[in-house]
Chain A
Amino acid sequence: DTAVSQTPKYLVTQMGNDKSIKCEQNLGHDTMYWYKQDSKKFLKIMFSYNNKELIINETVPNRFSPKSPDKAHLNLHINSLELGDSAVYFCASSQEPGSYEQYFGPGTRLTVT
C-alpha cells in the first residue's frame, strides 16, 4: 500500500501552459507539504498545509497555487509555466507540522520546453 502517492510521475509541457500535480496520503497525517528539488538536488519547501489550512507559504511565484480539498490530499497547480520551473516536485506528509518525521511521495519530474 503506497503511503504517499503523486500523479503524474513525469510531466513534459511547453512554456506558458498550465498544469496540475496531485498528491494523496493514506497515513492519516494532518500535515502535507510541497517541495521543489532543482537540478543541483537542493530540496526546498514551497508550501505546507495542516488540516487543510495553509501554514507555510515560502517565497514562491503566485503562479503556483496549492489546494487541499481534505487533509489526505494536496494538489499543486502551476500557471504560465516557465523554463525555470523544470524540477522534481515532491509531496510529503507528517503527523504534525515541522518537528515530525516526513514521508515523501515518489516525485513528479516536470520538464518545461
Chain B
Amino acid sequence: QKEVEQNSGPLSVPEGAIASLNCTYSDRGSQSFFWYRQYSGKSPELIMSIYSNGDKEDGRFTAQLNKASQYVSLLIRDSQPSDSATYLCAVNQRGRDDKIIFGKGTRLHILP
C-alpha cells in the first residue's frame, strides 16, 4: 500500500504564531490532497483540499502542494488555542480502487 507520512508530534506553537504541518506521500499518481482536523473524541472534519501545485488560501489556513517533491503542507496563521487538534493529511490513491489514504496525523498544541 502506498504511504502517507506525517510527523506524529506533538507540535507546540505559541498562540499567534504560524503553525506548519507537513506531509509526504509515495504515490506519484496522486491527484487530490486533503487536510482534516480531528479534535479529541470527535470525527475528522475537512478543512482544506488542494489539487494543483502551489498555494491555496482559506482564511487563516494555507495548503501548499509540490507534486515534484511529493510534499503537501498546511500553514495556520495567527494560531489560536482552538486550533489544538490532530491534523490528518489524506491523499487519493489511483488505481483499481479509487480511495483516500490517511496519514497517522500530527498533534498540534497551541500554547496560550
**Which residues of A are interface residues toward B (Cβ below 8 A)?**
40-45, 48, 55-56, 90, 97-107
User: Are B104 and A42 closer than 8 Å at their CB atoms?
Assistant: yes
Which of A44, A101, A105 is B43 in contact with, Cβ under 8 Å?
A105
Known: A41-B86, A41-B104. A101 touches B45 (CB 8 A): no
User: Are A98 and B92 closer than 8 Å at their CB atoms?
Assistant: yes
- Chain A residue at smallest Cβ distance from B38: A41
Listed residue (A44, A102, A103, A105) with the most chain B CB atoms within 10 angstroms of its CB: A102
User: Are A43 and B44 closer than 8 Å at their CB atoms?
Assistant: yes
How does the 8 Å CB contact mask read for B25-52 relative to A, with 1 for contact and 0 for none? Answer: 0000001101000100011111001000
Which of A97, A100, A104 is B45 in contact with, Cβ under 8 Å?
A104
Known: A43-B88, A45-B100. A101 touches B34 (CB 8 A): yes
Tell me the complex Cα distance, A55–B100, Å: 13
Q: How near does chain B come to A76, taking the closest CB pair, in angstroms?
A: 16
B46 contacts across to A, CB distance below 8 A: 101-103
Tell me the complex Cα distance, A42–B38, Å: 12
Judged by a CB distance under 8 angstroms, whether B58 is at the interface is no
A100 contacts across to B, CB distance below 8 A: 32
CB-defined A-B contacts under 8 Å, sample of 20: A41-B104, A41-B105, A42-B104, A43-B102, A44-B102, A55-B97, A97-B98, A97-B99, A98-B92, A98-B97, A98-B99, A99-B92, A100-B32, A101-B34, A102-B46, A102-B100, A103-B46, A106-B43, A107-B42, A107-B43
B49 contacts across to A, CB distance below 8 A: 101
Instruction: Known pairs A98-B97, A104-B45, A105-B43; list 17 more (Cβ under 8 Å).
Output: A41-B104, A43-B88, A44-B102, A45-B99, A45-B100, A48-B99, A56-B99, A90-B44, A97-B98, A98-B32, A98-B94, A98-B99, A99-B32, A101-B34, A101-B49, A102-B90, A102-B100
